[in-house]
Amino acid sequence: MEAIIENLEVETTAKSVGGTSKEELESCFKVFDVNEKNKVDINELLKIKPENDTLKKMQHSKWATSNNLFDYNSFINDFYALIEEFNSYKDRTEPEKHSESQEEKALGPISEVLSTLKGSFFFNGENVISHQYSMVLNKTSKLKISLHMNTRNDCEVFIFGIKQEKSEINYKFIDKTELFVSSESETSEFKTKWEGTLEKGVYVLIPSTTGCLFRKRKNQPSSDIHLTSIASENEEIILTEKYQKAIIEIFHQLDLDDNDTLSRAEFNLYNWRTSSMELTDDDWNNLVKKLHIANDEITLDQFLELHKLEAKNGESVELWMALWTMGYNHNLQRDESFDFQIQISSQYNPMLKVFGLRGGGMLLEKATISWIMDGAEKLYAGSHQQIILYLKNSTDSMSVVAQNSSKDDHKVELDFSKSENSIINHPHKKFSIHLPKSSVVFLAHLIKDDIKANFQPKVSIKTK
């Protein structure tokens, strides 16, 4: 087994870009996927090689779950997508050998070159996933990042720079947008939440939501809604009006570039979300023939026809499961997903593409903690003041991180109950937490409840 791990390290670092295909890399990971769940149990491998640097990097990567399961399919797709983006970027920029003129260096006001894409947040089990984006800048440019939502929710975007060193892809946290908390009466205008200058290069934009407003439903509502019925004139199975309405909503949710059709990439994300399967070339070609798809773009009528074909055998669990994964409950209300739009305004037209549909994992957690601790107010506790709360405040929100700098584990009690006009992402405003020795732990987000009223967050801490 140790020899296999050594071989995996070589395969995933030295040969990934050169001679190794996606299929060959996947076969390396499958050696360790003893349960055939498309995930590698890092804990089991650490028992064999506890000091292995590669395994430690996997453990703290964005592709690892909280219980140390490494999603190697997502890693492989991300890796090769970024290699493609990076090589494409180099091909476009390498011919420009001349130095930038003084006029190019003096960056002027941001012109209105806009790139806009839609996205959604979903619950995936207990975790939250969202669309993520790659952005390529051919030149250093001033940018604005604006957000829009049409429901009562919150969203922020983390910006990561991508650096390729030999065969490794490294994510560097650059900054994040201001948290956008929308209201039910929000207008259709975009709100600028970040403005700055980014050097030419490849970036990944990862949206995040605090969990204060977007929560898992407690239980499924009772319902007598049906998805199909029998036509009286010919006894054919047809879609009910409410089900058709939901399908139309899903179509527009999937249409990320808002061009009123679904590309293969957009439909593939739907296929992956509802079946956990990537769309193969054969799958797509069969779909093109069956639905008479032109220009590799699915229309709304064709999307409806596809669901009619799937419903030919009557209402089934598969039809409902597709709806559940898209965030719908038994009443066909969408309560476990919500949409947003991201708009980039820059001097030069950036190449903005949907990069995938997944969670931010440890990468996002580390970036969140780093951002909170930078310039935060500090609150000390413990007999030797070795427990530190970092409080990052704004007019609409507060985020809290705890650091235990002692050599002993501690249990602390946190009390947010005296906060006014606030919603917390924790089930309770008063709770206890275990802080391991020499650790830094994210604790909570609080946001303003009534947008028009004053936000007064308060927290106290006691050691036990």
* 186: confidence class by pLDDT, cuts 50, 70, 90: low
What pTM was estimated for this model as a whole?
A: 0.79
126 vs 155: CA distance, rounded Å:
18
Does 72 score more than 80 pLDDT?
no
pLDDT (mean) for 81-93: 58
CA 12, 18, 23 angle in degrees (round to 5)?
60
Residue 12 pLDDT: 37
Q: What is the fold, at CATH topology level, of the domain defined by 375-463?
A: Immunoglobulin-like (2.60.40)
- How would CATH label the architecture of 228-325? Orthogonal Bundle (1.10)
Does 366 score more than 50 pLDDT?
yes
The answer to whether 366 touches 440, Cβ cutoff 8 Å, is no
Residue 98 pLDDT: 44
The answer to whether 163 touches 238, Cβ cutoff 8 Å, is no
Residue 350 pLDDT: 85
Does 101 score more than 90 pLDDT?
no
The CATH 2.60.120.380 domain(s) of the chain lie at 106-216+337-359
Residue 338 pLDDT: 96
pLDDT (mean) for 78-83: 66
**What is the token pair recorded at 81?**
């997508």
Does 60 score more than 60 pLDDT?
yes
pLDDT (mean) for 143-161: 95
The CATH 1.10.238.10 domain(s) of the chain lie at 228-325
293 vs 287: CA distance, rounded Å:
8
pLDDT (mean) for 184-199: 83
Residue 393 pLDDT: 95
Does 92 score more than 60 pLDDT?
no
Residue 233 pLDDT: 84
Residue 414 pLDDT: 96
Does 177 score more than 90 pLDDT?
yes
* 304: confidence class by pLDDT, cuts 50, 70, 90: very high
Residue 438 pLDDT: 94
**What is the token pair recorded at 65?**
């779950």
pLDDT (mean) for 37-54: 76
Measured CA to CA in angstroms, residue 238 lies from 182, 305, 320, 333, 350 at distances of 38, 10, 15, 21, 44
Greater pLDDT, 8 or 138: 138
Residue 75 pLDDT: 72
Does 50 score more than 50 pLDDT?
yes
CA 250, 254, 256 angle in degrees (round to 5)?
145
CATH of the domain spanning 2-86, picked from 1.20.120, 1.10.238, 1.10.287, 2.30.30: 1.10.238
Task: Give the tens place of pLDDT for each residue, 321-335.
Answer: 999 999 999 999 999
- Determine how many CB atoms are found less than 10 A away from the CB of residue 242: 13
Residue 57 pLDDT: 67
Residue 86 pLDDT: 58
The CATH 2.60.40 domain(s) of the chain lie at 375-463
Task: Give the tens place of pLDDT for each residue, 213-252.
Answer: 999 999 999 988 999 998 888 888 899 999 999 999 999 9
Does 103 score more than 50 pLDDT?
no
Residue 67 pLDDT: 67
SS (H, E, C) the chain: CHHHHHHHHHHHHCCCCCCCCHHHHHHHHHCCCCCCCCCEEHHHHHHHCCCCHHHHHHHCCCCECCCCEECHHHHHHHHHHHHHHHHHHHHHHCCCCCCCCHHHHCCCCCCCEEEEEEEEEEEECCEEEEEEEEEEECCCEEEEEEEECCCCCEEEEEEEEEEEECCEEEEEEEEECCCEECCCCCCCCCEEEEEEEECCEEEEEEEECCCCCCCCCCCCCCCCCCCEEECCCCCCEEECHHHHHHHHHHHHHHCCCCCCCEEHHHHHHHHHHHHCCCCCHHHHHHHHHHHCCECCEECHHHHHHHHHHHCCCCCCHHHHHHHHHCCECCCCCECCEEEEEEEEEECCCCEEEEEEEECCHHHHHHHHHHHHHCCCEEEEECCCCCEEEEEEECCCEEEEEEEECCCCCEEEEEECCCCECEEECCCCCEEEEEECCCEEEEEEEEEECCCCCCCECCCEEEEC
Most trustworthy range by pLDDT among 5-14, 15-24, 68-77, 160-169:
160-169
The answer to whether 248 touches 257, Cβ cutoff 8 Å, is no
Average pLDDT over the chain reads 85
Determine the CATH number of domain 106-216+337-359: 2.60.120.380
